[in-house]
Amino acid sequence: MKRQSRRDFLKAVGGGAAALSVPSWLRAAGPTPDQPRRPNILYIFTDQQYAEMMSCAGNPCLKTPAMDSLAANGARFTLAHAANPVCVPARVGMMTGVMPSRIGMEENSDLGKVKVPETLLKQTMGWLFRNAGYETAYGGKVHLPMTPAAMGFDYITKNERAGLADACAAFLRREHPKPFLLVASFINPHDICYMAIRASAKAGNAGAPAQAAQAAKASPGSAPAAVPEDPLLPAGTSREEFIEKQCPPLPANFEVPAGEPDGVNEVDPRAFRFFVREHWTKDDWRLHRWQYCRLTEKVDAEIAVVLRALREAELEDSTVVVFSSDHGDMDASHRLEHKSVLYGESEQVPFIVSWKGVTRPGLVDHRHLVSTGLDLIPTLCDFAGIPVPKERAGLSVRPLAEGRTPTSWRDALVVEGRHCRALHTDRFKYTVFDIGDRREMLVDLGKDPGEMTNLAEDPTCRDALLDCRKRLQQWYRDHGETLAPGYVVA
């Protein structure tokens, strides 16, 4: 089958960008003899990449030309949040379109304990697209309570690194009689996890070696050796000089917030987290930030291989590319690394929607709250003209990505975690724990974006606190989800 060129594709859908803005055929369930072929979908996501870990996000400490190219041709959403900032629950949200707590998925250790109901399994991303006539393929890291095949995908490779990029490139260069959905799940910059685990083990903390082995088992292909213990210093450069001149500075919110809830230390009680928070020096933290940048650049180079193949196969103009990550990394904010906690660096992720010639080039959306767990499937289905199951509560960002005004949008968004729930509004962020004596945290993000001061006990913020408590409960009711009693504060 001959590939469709850009000229043929544009001619088929109406001859220009104006016709592409709201093509009626994308709203159809599938192509007919009178309708052109629906767009391909390429979903690329990394592991443990904070939203600001891209040069297009204004980060001067790294260069991510592949990610930047997607942002240049599309829309970048700065208020995108994971459903839960841990691998397995976050991925459950992305692949099902429901909050992970619906099936009892709160943390990675629930893998193997929690089963996805058959009715939900048959409405996962892969099946929605395969049943609508798409070729569906998945490559890379899975880390889910269901296999790619069970989700309706052909599994093209288990490799999570450069081998994944090569497999995706080979897939894109094949002939495709049908439109395709390709999911590319890269491991990095997740390897940053090993820095703290290794430092804790070196200090003799019990359990740290087992934690490293467990992490490697969860992510085949990963190994502590993937992150050097120290960067290779240029000749004649001391460690101190390298840190001073080459390593990113500490973040403005490096210190522990005033009034931090007790539960922050309970969401992930592994020993290495306490060790680095208490014992790492500022130099240690700056080295961590340097390594995190390099690992992000490494995965960007792998993504570049996929995007280059897309162009060379002349598929760029007929393919919607969405880029994100499963969750972020604290990267020295509040003297924390890893994820799990409901601080912004952990829960906020990159989210770029890019279709050359269709999405608004270079658009940056700072206004709309987006959930990668709830909104990914509706967005992809909207572009493909596939009906979304009625019980899904997510929203399509397609109108926003194309520079159009949606008929309505949410005014609050919930993020879940082990022992905690967080509500985001246009101004405040409210977090409540079901454990500890100090259980609540209220932050005015307009004045305190680094989340450094807990206003929950400030009498002048009492009305805002009560409002957030009510809105959290209402959000769960409105979305058909269940808020456990431990998160309801009288």
Among 306, 92, 326, 321, CA closest to 189: 326
User: Domain for residue 407, yes or no?
Assistant: no
Residues 369 and 432 grouped into a single domain: no
Residues 452 and 307 grouped into a single domain: no
User: Domain for residue 237, yes or no?
Assistant: no
Last residue of a domain, one of 363, 382, 402: 402
Burial class (CB in 10 A: 0-12, 13-18, 19+), 160: buried
Residues 442 and 392 grouped into a single domain: no
Residues 325 and 183 grouped into a single domain: yes
Q: Tokens 């490494």 label which residue?
A: 298
**The three-state (H, E, C) secondary structure of the chain, written as one string:** CCCCCHHHHHHHHCCCHHHHHCCHHHHCCCCCCCCCCCCEEEEEEECCCCCCCCHHHCCCCCCCHHHHHHHHHEEEECCEECCCCCHHHHHHHHHHCCCHHHHCCCCHHHCCCCCCCHHHHCCCHHHHHHHCCCEEEEEECCCCCCCCCCCCCEEEECCCCHHHHHHHHHHHHCCCCCCEEEEEECCCCHHHHHHHHHHHHHCCCCCHHHHHHHHHHHCCCCCHHHCCCCCCCCCCCCHHHHHHHHCCCCCCCCCCCECCCHHHHCCCCCHHHHHHHHHCCHHHHHHHHHHHHHHHHHHHHHHHHHHHHHHHCCCHHHEEEEEEECCCCCCCHHHCCCCCCCCHHHHECCEEEECCCCCCCCEEECCCCEEHHHHHHHHHHHHHCCCCCCCCCCCCCHHHHCCCCCCCCCCCEEEEECCEEEEECCCEEEEEECCCCCCEEEEECCCCCCCCECCCCCHHHHHHHHHHHHHHHHHHHHCCCCCCHHHCCC
Residues 391 and 465 grouped into a single domain: no
Residues 44 and 138 grouped into a single domain: yes
User: Domain for residue 78, yes or no?
Assistant: yes
Determine phi and psi for 298, rounding to 5 degrees.
-65, -45
Q: What does R_g of the chain's alpha carbons equal in angstroms?
A: 22
Q: Which domain holds residue 448?
A: 414-484
Residues 458 and 387 grouped into a single domain: no
User: Domain for residue 25, yes or no?
Assistant: yes
User: Domain for residue 207, yes or no?
Assistant: no
Last residue of a domain, one of 335, 367, 402: 402
Digitized pLDDT (tens) for each residue of the chain, 490 residues in all: 445 544 454 444 443 333 343 333 333 334 455 566 899 999 999 999 999 999 999 999 999 999 999 999 999 999 999 999 999 999 999 999 999 999 999 998 988 899 999 999 999 999 999 999 999 999 999 999 999 999 999 999 999 999 999 999 999 999 999 999 999 999 999 999 999 998 888 887 655 445 444 554 544 444 444 565 566 667 778 889 999 999 999 999 999 998 999 999 999 888 999 999 999 999 999 999 999 999 999 999 999 999 999 999 999 999 999 999 999 999 999 999 999 999 999 999 999 999 999 999 999 999 999 999 999 999 999 999 999 998 898 999 999 999 999 989 999 999 999 999 999 999 999 999 999 999 999 999 999 999 999 999 999 999 999 999 999 999 999 998 999 999 999 7
User: What pLDDT is recorded for position 35?
Assistant: 62
Beta carbons of 313 and 35 less than 8 angstroms apart? no
Based on the structure, what is the number of domains in the chain?
2
User: Domain for residue 265, yes or no?
Assistant: no
Residues 386 and 420 grouped into a single domain: no
Residues 456 and 326 grouped into a single domain: no
User: Domain for residue 97, yes or no?
Assistant: yes
User: Domain for residue 288, yes or no?
Assistant: no
Burial class (CB in 10 A: 0-12, 13-18, 19+), 281: exposed
Last residue of a domain, one of 337, 367, 402: 402
Residues 469 and 367 grouped into a single domain: no
CA distances 410 to 73, 354, 368, 374, Å, are 26, 22, 8, 12
Residues 342 and 392 grouped into a single domain: yes
Task: Report d(CA 451, CA 347) in Å as an integer.
Answer: 13
| CATH at residue 428 | 3.30.1120.10
Residues 460 and 388 grouped into a single domain: no
Among 250, 189, 231, CA closest to 54: 189
| CATH at residue 178 | 3.40.720.10
